[in-house]
Chains A and B, each alone.
Chain A
Amino acid sequence: MKYLVLAAGLLSTTAANADVPELTVYTYDSFVSDWGPGPAVEEAFEKICGCDLKLVGAGDGAALLARIRLEGARSDADVVLGLDTNLTAAAKATGLFADHAVSADYTLPIEWNDKTFAPYDWGYFSFVHNADAAAPANFKDLAASDAKIVIQDPRSSTPGLGLLMWVKAAYGDDAPAIWADLSDNIVTVTKGWSEAYGLFLEGEADMVLSYTTSPAYHLIAEEDASKAAALFDEGHYVQVEVAGKLAASDQPELADQFLDFMVSDAFQSIIPTTNWMYPAVTPAAGLPAGFETLVQPGKSLLLSEDEAASLRDVALDEWLTALSQ
């Protein structure tokens, strides 16, 4: 009965809004949550677009791509927001995405000239630790130390895959040796970021794979300066999060408008303290106070999407072999 009432309610709201165009954006779960950028982005965009912005959470980045592949060209989605450069090659190969016309003065640590996907934020992967503990200066240091780390499984987690690429980008053919040396430091491997970070906060490990921006959350939202990110001298792998327009969208103009909005100040200034990443275009007002305390890697590592796609299976095999000994 309750459900019928609910269904009737849903139907009537749909009918009432029938004259307002609807833009459907598929994204990852944490983006749409009350504590993520979703609510503020929706409010800001609806103010200027005369449309109804529908943000749909579909797991994480990889689940998002799987969802789009399942739905194919018949998808309701107009825009997909939340893939990263490890996924874009596979996303393009589906042929479901159309080129964008976004141009902006990106403040990314790398050149951006992807025609299909536009970036909205980025971050450096890094090991987060308690500020009062000494941190290793690179992977070799870490492997030689008795520091315990928690990492995410690359098969089920985006940061986990990022770490795999990080070691591969930094060490190439020596990656298996690094993993073998690291294996006694790894307390455990988790399904996703949340589990790993939870374990770290519980005191199960000295360090956890996260982002250099993670300490900003603790500093700004909790006024807690006890967390720090370790600076590695091999350089840090960059994760760039991107959005793209679906070729089969029934709202192509609105989708273009959304992508333009995405790199504008209104959107970009929401990102740092909701998604806890660096904005792709630094807003005019600059970064929020607290971000200046974050470590700045001397070197940025990023495999091109084709390299990432071709090295992925090899790197995973190396990882599995080294850690299954």
Chain B
Amino acid sequence: MADCAQPVSPRLGIGAAILVAALILGTLAAVALRAEPGRGLGSSDWAALRFTLIQACLSAGLSVALAIPVARALARRRFRGRRLLISLLGAPFILPVIVAILGLLTVFGRAGWFSSGLALLGLEPVQIYGLHGVVLAHVFFNLPLATRLVLQGWQEIPAERFRLAAQLGADARAMRQLLEYPMLKRIVPGALAVVFAICLSSFAVALTLGGGPRATTIELAIYQAFRFDFDLGRAALLSGLQLILTGAAALVAVRVAAGEGFGTGLDRPLQRWDGSTAAARLVDGLWIVLAAGFLLLPLSAIVLAGLPGILTLTGAVWMAALNSIMVAALSTVVLLLLALPMATAVALGRGGMIEVAGILGLAASPLVIGTGLFIVIYPIADPFALALPVTALVNAVMALPFALRILVPRARAVVGRYGRLALSLDMRGLAFVWRVLLPRMRPQIGFAAGLAAALSMGDLGVIALFADPEFATLPLQVYRLMGAYRMEAAAGAALLLLALSMAAFWILDRGGRWHAEA
């Protein structure tokens, strides 16, 4: 039996994967079963599907293509503020959509900084609305995540390998072929699949920056099916379509990404001998400056917009902030309880379906999960009373794909390297997990937990259907403030949200890496 030759059992992970799949597919089924006969998919739905696929492919391709040189530069260079920059890389991704859009438009919009700069030079303003605007926004959201994932890959190449390569006189080209390309081959497909899945379910970004109904995505069609037509059947159908597309992308990624890792080293700090030429420094520097500028300008726009409002925030907003912290904490715990066994099971060779189950969380429409849960829970319990646990659970499932991408490569390396050694010492089960696996995965756990906490803080997700009158989260308050014309206060609350998310991310991420070299 395979189980006998492993230090831990994959059963817990398989169980967690089944739970996740049941949640996502079960809610979908609940919605489908409630459906009355409606119309099937029409030509506009196929147009939406086409647009969704085009923009998701472009966005994913561009985000990851740009992330590779940026991550490489960050892996090779050591400079003041590097850690801060890497932490800030999490920021765009965790902002509520509406806040991020307004930040982006302050920089790239018709009346934005960029266009004003061009006007000073006597040039036409940039036209952001259209497919390119959608892709730009998606790159803004996902480049940081892709960079972190690829950077992680670079950091998993043991320092000894670079040392050995340098000793053997490998030049930059040889180093790329021996070390970097194989690593990218393992990391990039997963990163592509994750970003693709995120962009697949994009809705408000695509609509707003797409410039009109041409930019209709499947998620908007689901929204329309719910609100405009109350056609639950069509909503379920469209959501199923989204799940199939993402599942297919995930399967392809898992297949393509196969390949041996580099084994492990002594966890010593990385030193690179191939990047010391002036040209390499210049190129790396340029990439870092460009990426930092692209990400930090909109962020500073959000900070500037929020400063005047943050002093005027009322008790309700602070209360909501407290609620958001509670949700984030709970969903981070749930996430780790799901993700760690799943990552371990994947590392033990039970990959395939577990990884696919993990990534489905991204493709599931929050509206469908929320409605499905509502249909299931409503007959047996009061949805309001369950607002907190439901939100935490769904947020955890949504963050699961990221967590797995972060945890799996490391778990694989640890099990591969220490599994047999542990077995020969008869170290099994909890002892292996506690003494070998968890300590070695600490940086990855910190990163995954930080991302989950931040994501959960910024997510509006399913809260709408379960919203207890006394239980509003901070993102919900941002929308409520905007809905009440309080744009300045909304900007202040958004800044508070940004600060809280960043703090949660930073504390957990740093907590994981306190002894390690970032």
Residue positions of A touching B, CB distance < 8 A: 2-3, 6-7, 10, 29-30, 32-36, 54-59, 62-63, 65-67, 69-71, 74, 90, 148, 153-156, 183, 186-191, 193-195, 197-199, 201-205, 214, 217-218, 221, 276, 316, 319-320, 323-324
Q: Which residues of B contact A (CB under 8 A)?
A: 34, 44, 47, 98, 101-102, 105-106, 109-111, 129, 203-204, 207-214, 220, 223-224, 226-228, 230, 314, 316, 326, 330, 371, 374-375, 378-379, 384-385, 388-389, 464-465, 467, 469, 476-477, 479-487, 490
Residues of A within 8 A of B129 (CB): 187-188
Residues from chain B with a CB closer than 8 A to the CB of A195 are 98, 101, 204, 208
- A55, B207: Cα distance in complex, Å: 31
Indicate whether A29 sits within 8 Å of B487 (C-beta atoms), given known contacts A3-B326, A148-B110, A191-B207: no
| A203 & B483 in contact (Cβ 8 Å cutoff) | no
Interface SS, B side:
helix
Of A90, A189, A204, the residue contacting B212 (CB under 8 A) is A189
Q: Give every chain A residue within 8 A of B220 (Cβ-Cβ).
A: 153, 155-156
Write the chain B residue with the least CB distance to A199: B105
Least distance between A10 CB and chain B CB atoms (Å): 7
What would 11 A/B residue contacts be, using CB atoms closer than 8 Å? A2-B326, A3-B388, A54-B469, A59-B464, A67-B465, A69-B230, A90-B230, A186-B212, A190-B208, A205-B110, A221-B485
Name which residue of chain B comes closest to A30, CB basis: B483
| Contact between chains at A66 and B226 (CB < 8 Å) | yes
C-alpha spacing A198/B486, complex, angstroms? 10
Q: How far is the CB of A297 from chain B (nearest CB, A)?
A: 21
What's the Cα separation between A323 and B467 when bound, in Å?
Answer: 35
Complex contact A324–B227 (CB within 8 A): no
Q: State the CA gap A154–B224 with chains docked (Å).
A: 9
Q: Are A29 and B482 interface neighbours, CB within 8 A?
A: no
What residues of chain B lie closer than 8 Å to A10, measured between beta carbons?
385
Chain B's closest residue to A152 (CB) is: B207
With A33-B480, A155-B220, A276-B485 as given contacts, are A191 and B227 in contact (CB-CB < 8 Å)? no
Interfacial chain A residues near B480, Cβ < 8 Å: 29-30, 33-36, 57
* Minimal beta-carbon separation of A197 from chain B (angstroms): 7
A191 touches B204 (CB 8 A): yes
For A30, what are the chain B residues with a Cβ–Cβ distance below 8 Å? 480, 483-484
Please name the residue on chain A nearest to B106 by beta carbon: A202
A154 to chain B, nearest CB (A): 8
Contacts of B467 in A (CB 8 A): 29, 56-58
Complex contact A35–B486 (CB within 8 A)? yes
Closest to A42 in B: B469
Report B-chain residues with C-beta under 8 Å of the C-beta of A69: 230
Q: Quick one: closest A residue to B101, CB to CB? A: A195
Query: Are A153 and B207 closer than 8 Å at their CB atoms?
Result: yes
Using Cβ atoms and an 8 Å threshold, which residues of chain B touch A183? 212
Report whether A3 and B389 are in contact in the complex, using a CB–CB cutoff of 8 Å. yes
Does B371 lie within 8 Å of A62, measured CB to CB? no
Contact pick for B98, options A189, A194, A323, CB 8 Å: A194
A88 vs B314: C-alpha distance in the bound complex, in angstroms?
35
Least CB distance from A108 to B in Å reads: 23
Contact A156:B224 (CB < 8 A) given known A148-B110, A198-B102, A204-B111: yes
Residues of A within 8 A of B101 (CB): 195
**CB-defined contacts of B330 to chain A, threshold 8 Å:** 3
Contact of A155 with B314 in the complex, beta carbons under 8 Å: no
Whole-angstrom distance between the alpha carbons of A58 and B374 in the complex? 13
Q: Quick check: A189 and B482 within 8 Å, CB to CB? A: no
Complex CA–CA separation, A221 to B388 (angstroms): 34
Q: Roughly how many angstroms separate A188 CA and B130 CA in the complex, as a whole number?
A: 9
A sample of 14 more A-B contacts (CB under 8 A), given A33-B484, A190-B204, is A3-B330, A3-B388, A33-B316, A33-B480, A58-B465, A63-B227, A188-B207, A189-B208, A189-B211, A195-B208, A199-B102, A199-B208, A221-B485, A320-B213
Compute how far the CA of A12 lies from the CA of B159 in the bound complex, rounded to whole angstroms: 59
B98 to nearest A CB, angstroms? 6
Question: Which residues of B have CB within 8 Å of A155?
Answer: 220, 223-224, 227-228
Name the one of A29, A34, A63, A324 contacting B214, with C-beta atoms under 8 angstroms: A324
